[in-house]
Amino acid sequence: MDFKALAEELFHIMTRTAKLPFQKKVDDLSHGERRILGYLTFGSNGVPSGDLSEKLDLTTPRVASALNSLAKKGFIERNRAENDKRVVIVTITESGKSFMMEEYNKLISMMQHTLQQLGEKDAQELIRIIKRIKDITNEMNDKECRHE
């Protein structure tokens, strides 16, 4: 089997697939801003700003820019840590959480519709394959980290 040809075909399919609404900018929200809000909503709320860069694999300047934008929109608050005034703690506001939950529910609804259109067998197979891709990718990343 020619896996390179298959990889090229997959690449071309993925680059020509129309973006779904949840992949586009929403209300002028960048990908980095969305990831930060997602982390604060579904991961940990009330985290040092420096942790966001590490946990989300974003550059420090990108995190700083995203936090400034999110604060202007009223989606996050930044406060100094009580035990160390040099540390800035980021928390999501009710407005930010409400926005993220609304976006999450839209995304789940779109995914549910897509999976229903695929049918039970194909939907389960898609999830199985995506999990397998995640496992392979994690293994590759682990090996790469050990060789550095």
CA dist list (Å): 34 to 3, 58, 74, 99, 122: 34, 12, 14, 10, 29
The order of strands in the sheet holding 47-48 is 47-48, 88-92, 76-80
Q: Looking at the predicted structure, is the pLDDT value of residue 61 above 80?
A: yes
What are the structural domains, with CATH classification, of the chain?
Answer: 3-117 (1.10.10.10)
Residue 147 pLDDT: 61
- Model confidence pLDDT, tens digit, residues 114-124: 899 999 999 99
Q: What is the pTM of this model?
A: 0.74
* DSSP codes, 16-53: HSPPPGGGS-BTTB-HHHHHHHHIIIII-SSEEHHHHH
